[in-house]
Structure 1
Amino acid sequence: MSKTFVFLLALASLAVTTPVAPEDIQATVPIVSTFNFIDGKDLIQRDRARIHQLRSVGQQKKSAGGQNTPAYNQAVVHSALVGVGSPPTPYSLIIDTGSSNTWVGAEKAYNRTRTSKPTGSKVGVSYGSGSFDGDQFLDLVTISYKLTIPDQSIGVANKSKGFNGFDGILGIGPVGLTRGTLQPNRSEFVPTVTDNLFKSKKINYNSVAVSFVPTIGLDEEGQASGELTWGGVDYTKVEGKITYTPITRTFPADRYWGIDQKLTYGKSVPIMQSSAGIVDTGTTLTYIASDAFARYKNATGSEYDEDTGLLAIPCAKFGSLNNLHFYINGQKFELSPDAQAWPRIFNEAIGGTNDKVYLVIADIGDVTGTGLDFINGMGFLQRFYTVYDTQKRRVGISRTPHTFRKVNVPGGRC
């Protein structure tokens, strides 16, 4: 059985069967987790390379565009199967809310078909710890059996680095990040997959929502770990209401899915006053400004662990850990003690030991005031449903059935 036929069978199974509202969505697409373990220090180093690239936009004039966009650096990589061409060739693409170009060719070569149209432009994106350069094509892109996009702009890598095991990136960030990625027309924008789905009336609302579940164990390798929903909200994944907050006005966070938030710990210990940062699927940990990180370290009684580069507490003290509160547009979202813990089943994979609990809150490397003072990475996103609303320039966040689920330190015991 050919891989293309298997892909087409998979597309046929993606019809929406659960009630959704208020917008008319057309399909949900499963997200697959792949484990890509590196030691803790290397994980942080790669995350910080991505953060540096994110911030480098702030060193340019706003008119210069966002050609330096972020990288994927995750220990657990989340991807989706996307078809390109006719018949569609399936590509495993990393889902990235922090970049906006969609491209293929890192592992599996681009298969030119009757729908492939070279544009004559060159395209390239630097991702901090990875990059690609190649040619720009227009081609038929198949997201699901209902969502097909003729003449979608697709980058085809001639060379790439940092994407072992994956074919490229599915960029679902704001379209402004594509400016400066094309040669010779550096001022040109590259329409995103989400924008073109809306423009072609395949979806009735210009948004994409992302749902994850917490990482539990090695048996989840290659299994569905969430979903992408284009054009609306799947309320079967939501608990309570969705809080929408406008894109921050603070540069450079305003280039991305940037929001304003403040943090407190426990009953009311102040950690970070209202600051600008981003929500990002491509960052493994959740990062906060250095001064806020020092307050969090002191409040939790944790210590820096030389072996992993993470904060750690003895198992015996885990029960004293409190919730970390994220205040977003007046609504409080709690990151429980279990959600603040690195999955203990993977302690050894990051160079740790089983008698400690390692925390997923890390130091961003600069004090508050840079315009990018936090990154709500996968440690946050696995506990909350998020909506990336291009139409109204806002981000939606809600609790899910997994927000308070105990998976990393079941029952609060080591």
Structure 2
Amino acid sequence: MQLQLSFSALLAGFVLVLSLQVLDAAPIPNPRSSVSMVTLPLKRMEQVRNVHPLILLQQHINRGNRRLARMSGRTEPSVEFLERELQKRVYAVEGSEGLERRLNGNGVSRSEENTLEKRYNRFGIPEKPKSPVGADSLAVLKKGNGTGSNAGQQKNSVAIANTPTANNSLGLDIEAQDVGYLAAVQMGTPPRDFLILMDSGSADLWVGAENCQSQNGGGCGNHNFLGPQSSTSFEASQVPFKVTYGTGQVSGTIVQDNINIAGLALDAHTFGVALVESVDFSGARTPFDGLMGLAQSTLSEQQTLTPIEALAQAGLVTDAIVSYKISRLADNKNDGEITFGGLDETKFDPKTLTTVPNVNKQGFWEANMDAVTVNGKDTGLKGRTAILDTGTTLIVAPASDAAAVHAAIPGAQSDGQGGFTLPCTTTASVALTFGGQSYSIDPRDLAFQPIDANDPQGDCVSGITSGNIGGAQEWLVGDVFLKNAYFSTDVTKNTLSLAKLV
């Protein structure tokens, strides 16, 4: 069906978009003999998007449902189902005329479908057809701690990271309104910077191959690519791999090449190069070069060690631990970090640190969730578990659980399609409890985005949505929560740790 092309691309929603422009992420010199962990600080990126928040919400819901199904070992929702859900949302926002325009590709000929698909990848549907591809996507460049700003004339400008507070530090970007996090990693010989999405919900490392092709036709965008032409240490194989995410997929071959994470060199590390990328990754407006999965390698489609496991095996870090301090756009601090090999105790209150077993048998990071409270009142949601995933933007809960939480938030309402709205001015405190310690979600994270950008005091899309693809008591907990806690995973001990930020 020809209509499927446009809407398949729309289903992509938001993964993470970062820029290739900030490549000054060299590690701070530190004697190798004293290294026990490696810290990568996070940088912020802001991006303007003319997309209706309720349509973006549906893309988040679709992505979360696919991701949760994969994580819980259940059948993923079909493309047809996800299309219908997105079409219903477009109809609710733009009416029958808007839906017909989207289905008919804004009135262009079918021969232009490829252009439309690139336009409608993770960036969503523009509220109105108004400009050529990418022309409505100018970014705002914030430098350093945010005290200086310039109007970016490029599609994807990235904030320069603050000076790291720990040794061996690099930058990790925050895309748009806190939708994802990435770091610069050196690859190949001579080494070059690749900007990589850091994802605790998958377990494969890949970058685009030199001869990468988009599933949509053509090349894989203005990205950095790896192969024998650019790296003298590159060793190819004929072993294939394929990874499917909540949005998009890649396929290619397993290779070996040198990589360097904040000055720690993994020579002849095994990972993948993507020969084919879906438009979610290959699009010209998607400027990150690859993805690093930091779940356990039992999940790896490539059947190889994750970088943190390889670093620990090589003795370059003491423990196979990855720790996250992700920052919030609204704070304008640009101070997030990802730490390899330990916990950075300057980032959290040690009295609040709690460590709990990983209850997931597949290799994801999942913990028992003791309680969910709203303004200190228990919602009665017992026996739940939460998959903690830096690669998911929102919180996806079973429908009845999401309804119970919002019933306790003054002014919250269901939108009838799995999402919820609440007052942008809400002061409601939603908290999740793990290991006996409660961690509150900042109301600014709960009120994820105003429905009307011109009315920031009106109604907002809620950062908690519903999905019924996982288990009846299983939550997918993404960055809406993780911005509010220090988060650490330990492969060797098979545990997760959380602490309150300072």
The TM-score range, normalised by the shorter chain, is 0.7 to 0.9
Residue in structure 1 matched with residue 337 of structure 2 by the alignment:
227
Contact 2:430 2:441 in 1 (8 A): yes
Contact 1:95 1:282 in 2 (8 A): yes
Aligned-partner Cα distance in 1 for 2:406–2:446: 12
Residue in structure 1 matched with residue 224 of structure 2 by the alignment:
108
Contact 1:34 1:77 in 2 (8 A): no
Query: Which residue of the other structure, out of 350, 354, 365, is the alignment partner of 1:240?
Result: 350
Alignment RMSD, CA only?
3.1
Structure 1 position 44, deviation (Å): 3.1
Structure 1 position 255, deviation (Å): 3.4
1:229 aligned partner, one-letter code: T
Residue in structure 1 matched with residue 441 of structure 2 by the alignment:
335
| SS at structure 2 position matched to 1:272 | coil
Residue in structure 1 matched with residue 363 of structure 2 by the alignment:
255
Identify if the C-alpha distance between structure 1 residues 59 and 200 changes in structure 2 by more than 3 Å, giving closer, same or farther.
closer
Structure 2 unpaired stretches of 5+: 1-19, 76-121, 124-174, 209-219
Structure 1 position 30, deviation (Å): 2.1
Structure 1 position 368, deviation (Å): 8.4
Identify if the C-alpha distance between structure 1 residues 15 and 215 changes in structure 2 by more than 3 Å, giving closer, same or farther.
farther
Residue in structure 2 matched with residue 364 of structure 1 by the alignment:
466
Residues 1:10 and 2:21 aligned together: no
1:362 aligned partner, one-letter code: I
Structure 1 position 314, deviation (Å): 6.0
Residue in structure 2 matched with residue 209 of structure 1 by the alignment:
323
1:123 aligned partner, one-letter code: F
- The 5 A counterparts of 1:45-64 are 45-47=58-60, 48-56=62-70, 58-59=72-73
Contact 2:241 2:272 in 1 (8 A): yes
Q: How many residues align?
A: 355
Structure 1 position 43, deviation (Å): 3.2
Aligned-partner Cα distance in 2 for 1:387–1:12: 21
Query: Which residue of the other structure, out of 455, 466, 469, is the alignment partner of 1:353?
Result: 455
Structure 1 position 304, deviation (Å): 3.5
Aligned-partner Cα distance in 1 for 2:432–2:277: 37
Contact 1:310 1:362 in 2 (8 A): yes
Residue in structure 1 matched with residue 428 of structure 2 by the alignment:
322
| SS at structure 2 position matched to 1:191 | coil
Aligned-partner Cα distance in 1 for 2:366–2:194: 29
Residue in structure 1 matched with residue 392 of structure 2 by the alignment:
283
Aligned-partner Cα distance in 1 for 2:38–2:306: 17
Query: Which residue of the other structure, out of 46, 64, 81, is the alignment partner of 2:184?
Result: 81
Aligned-partner Cα distance in 2 for 1:30–1:281: 15
Residue in structure 1 matched with residue 271 of structure 2 by the alignment:
154
Percent of matched pairs sharing the same residue: 21
Aligned-partner Cα distance in 2 for 1:369–1:50: 13
Aligned-partner Cα distance in 2 for 1:324–1:259: 18
| SS at structure 2 position matched to 1:51 | helix
Identify if the C-alpha distance between structure 1 residues 115 and 336 changes in structure 2 by more than 3 Å, giving closer, same or farther.
same
Contact 1:210 1:228 in 2 (8 A): yes
Q: Which has the higher strand share?
A: 1
Contact 2:442 2:484 in 1 (8 A): no
Aligned-partner Cα distance in 2 for 1:228–1:267: 31
TM-score, structure 1 normalization: 0.77
Contact 1:287 1:364 in 2 (8 A): yes
| SS at structure 1 position matched to 2:350 | strand
| SS at structure 1 position matched to 2:443 | coil
Aligned-partner Cα distance in 1 for 2:483–2:249: 26
Structure 1 position 24, deviation (Å): 5.7
Contact 1:28 1:230 in 2 (8 A): yes
Aligned-partner Cα distance in 2 for 1:237–1:104: 30
Structure 1 position 337, deviation (Å): 3.0
| SS at structure 2 position matched to 1:216 | helix
Per-residue CA shift, 1:83-114, capped at 9, x if unaligned?
Answer: 11121111111110001111111532214322
Structure 1 position 32, deviation (Å): 2.7
1:303 aligned partner, one-letter code: Q
TM-score, structure 2 normalization: 0.64
Contact 1:213 1:225 in 2 (8 A): yes
Residue in structure 1 matched with residue 115 of structure 2 by the alignment:
none
Aligned-partner Cα distance in 1 for 2:382–2:192: 48
Contact 1:15 1:28 in 2 (8 A): no
Residues 1:191 and 2:305 aligned together: yes
| SS at structure 2 position matched to 1:273 | coil
1:234 aligned partner, one-letter code: D
Aligned-partner Cα distance in 2 for 1:338–1:14: 37
Aligned-partner Cα distance in 2 for 1:111–1:11: 22
